[in-house]
Structure 1
Amino acid sequence: MTPSVKKIKLGVDVLIENDFDIIENKKILLLTNTTGRTSSGQLTVEEIQRSKKCEIIGLLTPEHGFFTTVPAGQSVNDDIIFGLKTYSLYGNSRKPDSKLLKSCDAVVVDIQDIGIRSYTYISTIFKTMQSCAENGIPVIILDRPNPLGGEIIDGNIVETGKDSFVGIAPISYIHGCTIGELAEMFNNERWLNPKNPDKSKCSLTVIKMVNWKRSMTYEETGLQWWPTSPHIPTVNAVRGAACLGIFGELGIINIGIGTTLPFQYVGAPDFKTEIINDDIKMLKLQGIHFNPTKFQPFYGMYNGKLCDGFFLTFTNDKNFAPYTSGILFFSSLIKYYPNMFDRGKLKQNSIDMFNKVTGSDAVLDALINKKSINDLRKICNKGLDNYRKLRQKYLLYD
């Protein structure tokens, strides 16, 4: 943290500073994992337990489990953690049930999102709020930074009828919000239960951060990064996932999974790095650099094979458009690998998952049909102007 930056207080720090007044004498459920910590690194669950101000009747955990070690897509089991019954919201159910909710006075949320729509932590928050709206239970969000910052917005919104657990709401792929801001949007736009107006909104309180600015990189916050999942060990992994993550669904080349820097390597054993590099330079992508290199995955795709490709590095640039950059990068490969997006060679479940993650059939269709760079940019920006206006109503920070 640079000397000119004031120390950031997270939502949980403000909760502690206010002597836990909003949850005093209440029975609460805490939706959290190991990323839910104070600015000094203390686990939120332990801080609340130590305070003795309220009773935690259970923990709620998202995809990857409490310790963020469960692989993506793998079911998470219920558990006992810190002596507390821990209920998985990524197992047999994706939302807390009525019986459990009716035994508490409030649900408290403290979890680190990564600013990417398909990352399911915001979907778990959405589903939890939905269940709380149905059962009349208040929700308290302890806010924390978006690691991609609060200014970058990129990627088409989820089309009507294309919503799923990896595209829970009609927001852009890189949404540019904190979890508190998204919660306000989910609630006030009545997205939780649109068919049931009486249960489409919950009682919501967002405990805001202090001294966080939208323009801040995560490094500028001075906060420690705690891995949010097995393949998001660093903030640069977040940035890389924002660029390359959607293509992991197709399994066409390695995107750094199986290396020590997931989502920062991309390539294959027969990758034509040198000539592809010339094409990438012509794209004039901002905030991202593709550095020619070699790498060797030690598990996953091309396990044990030396790959040619690129190492991704990033600079602080307000024009960084990671989702669009990733799509344009892959489109530049088609010239050299014309069958890369051959529908007949892609598995149907991979196609379905890619379309879910992108919230539209249009992105893959454009790549399959070798659409122009300008056409791809238009597809990536579809619905963005309306989302930008909508989002403006819910911004809690300058």
Structure 2
Amino acid sequence: MILKTTMRQLKSILQITISSLVILISSSSLLQSQNVRLGIDVLMSDEISIVQNKQIALFTNQSGINVKGVPTAEILSKDSRVDLRKIFVPEHGYYTTIPAGEPVANDSIFGTPIVSLYGSLKIPNKKVLTDIDAVVVDIQDIGVRSYTYISSLLYLIQGCAENNVEVIVLDRPNPLGGLVVDGNLPENKFKSFVSLVPTTYIHGCTIGELAMMINGELWTENKKQCNVTVVTMEGWERWMAWDDTGLMWIPTSPHVPTANSVRGIATLGTIGELGVISIGIGTTSPFGYIGSPFLKLDNMRVDYEGIYLQHTYYRPFYGMYSGKDVEGYYLKFNLSNHLKPYTTGLLILRELVKNNPTLLSDNNLKSQSKDMFNKVTGTDKILNAIRTNLPEEMIVTLASEGMIDFLKIRQKYLLY
């Protein structure tokens, strides 16, 4: 009887201890998210004077929100202290619903005109900047060079420099964290809108740091500078991935609905350009799968730093292999500041080619797909190396060309 009573008491104590730990962990996570204040939050509470008495334009989309989830476009349009004249939007439009590559039309929201910077106009000109003193930037980048928001940022800085307009960046976290840097620098002959900013493929910078770098290093085509001000975050540290911030994620484009899909696009985005392998587009986890009904997957390496390939079958609702069961892998990510998503993706591709020698043959690979892969990677050396089955060490070397030079430049502009 005494033993039973003691066991019940121990069980109760254990349940109370576990409950206390859960509460403590939840409180810690909540406290951490409350401690991360975005640029827009700092602007409205502490730095509003830098936009007062100025005619303002805003470069944003629905991903530009404060910590409570209120869109920056709404905040600025309704605040009597701010004279918001127009809103600039990039690829995918304000609500990020327009598919990749499709032009974005002009529109309006919150009573403010929307001017597209992804159509016939990509560089803001005198006509759209004539009544503007400063352009405020609040948009969620994903930390990947080929994601075109930073290309639009470069063109925005170029247009503002040409027309003597100030740029004010409301800073936001890099969802991959500020310590993960991976990839080669793009070669000049492969420069395009998906490799316009000459960083490594994974740059490890916030959008504010990139704006300062673009301006400071004269990366614009006109080699002119403008006045760039960054309203820095409070509470964000470089080791933090998005999951560590406690902030809500708003889809930044149609196939980036979650923070996990950011890690996916950083790993598989280049492979998707080849058009011969499914990367989960058309599933509920875009960039979360890789596979094909026609691949041999014997002896595939599945374990990488921060990434594990879990063998599975999946069925896309649209896109490649729509309605078919596809054998492949689900990408399981572990939070790691040692993650090398770009290089890992290339090594996964090499494994697939090693098991399927004709995968990237001229018969399978369209010229346009080959060109696009070379544009996003910024070189033709990597594709040639993978197609000719060069050693893994060679792929790793090619995938890091120019990184040391970039890290030296990057160091000058780090704000956190």
TM-score (norm 2): 0.91
CA contact (8 A) 2:39 2:233 kept: yes
Partner of 2:280: 256
Partner of 2:23: none
Asked which structure has the greater CA Rg, the reply is 2
SS of the aligned residue for 1:279 comes to coil
Shift of 1:48: 1.1
Say whether 1:317 aligns with 2:345. no
Structure 1, 172-181 or 41-50: larger mean CA deviation: 41-50
SS of the aligned residue for 1:309 comes to strand
Partner of 1:189: 217
Say whether 1:226 aligns with 2:253. no
Question: Could you tell me which amino acid in structure 2 is paired with residue 336 of structure 1?
Answer: N
1:108-257 mapped onto 2 (5 Å cutoff):
108-193=136-221, 196-197=222-223, 200-257=224-281
Partner of 2:289: 265
Shift of 1:66: 0.1
Partner of 1:288: 307
Question: Could you tell me which amino acid in structure 1 is paired with residue 228 of structure 2?
Answer: L
Shift of 1:19: 5.8
Select 1:74's aligned residue among 92, 97, 102.
Answer: 102
Shift of 1:50: 2.0
SS of the aligned residue for 2:135 comes to strand
SS of the aligned residue for 1:17 comes to helix
Cα distance per residue 1:293-341 (max 9 Å; x no partner) = 1100010000100011111111111211000000000100112211111
Shift of 1:268: 1.2
Partner of 1:92: 120
Partner of 1:368: 387
Give the CA RMSD over aligned residues.
Answer: 1.3
Say whether 1:59 aligns with 2:87. yes
CA contact (8 A) 1:271 1:307 kept: no
Say whether 1:347 aligns with 2:366. yes
Q: Distance in 1 between matches of 2:187 and 2:346?
A: 18
Q: Distance in 2 between matches of 1:58 and 1:78?
A: 11
Cα distance per residue 1:83-123 (max 9 Å; x no partner) = 21111111111121112112111101000000000000000
Question: Could you tell me which amino acid in structure 2 is paired with residue 94 of structure 1?
Answer: K
CA contact (8 A) 2:306 2:336 kept: yes
Structure 1, 346-355 or 113-122: larger mean CA deviation: 346-355
- Give % identity: 47
Q: Distance in 2 between matches of 1:34 and 1:286?
A: 33
Select 1:304's aligned residue among 312, 323, 335.
Answer: 323
* Change in 2 beyond 3 A, CA 1:3/1:222: closer
Partner of 2:61: 33
CA contact (8 A) 2:353 2:387 kept: no
CA contact (8 A) 2:77 2:112 kept: no
Say whether 1:331 aligns with 2:350. yes
Cα distance per residue 1:10-55 (max 9 Å; x no partner) = 0000011126211112111110000010011011011112211122
Shift of 1:3: 5.6
Structure 1 residues not aligned, in runs of 5+: none
CA contact (8 A) 1:78 1:87 kept: yes
Question: Could you tell me which amino acid in structure 1 is paired with residue 91 of structure 2?
Answer: E
Shift of 1:289: 0.9
Regions of 4+ moved over 4 Å: none
CA contact (8 A) 2:296 2:356 kept: no
Aligned residue pairs total: 388
Question: Could you tell me which amino acid in structure 1 is paired with residue 84 of structure 2?
Answer: I
Structure 2 residues not aligned, in runs of 5+: 1-27
Q: Distance in 1 between matches of 2:45 and 2:76?
A: 12
SS of the aligned residue for 1:335 comes to helix
SS of the aligned residue for 1:334 comes to helix
CA contact (8 A) 2:180 2:337 kept: yes
CA contact (8 A) 2:184 2:399 kept: yes
Partner of 1:47: 75
Select 2:50's aligned residue among 11, 18, 22.
Answer: 22
CA contact (8 A) 2:182 2:403 kept: yes
Which structure carries more helix by proportion? 2
CA contact (8 A) 1:62 1:90 kept: yes
Shift of 1:187: 0.6
SS of the aligned residue for 2:190 comes to coil
CA contact (8 A) 2:62 2:250 kept: yes
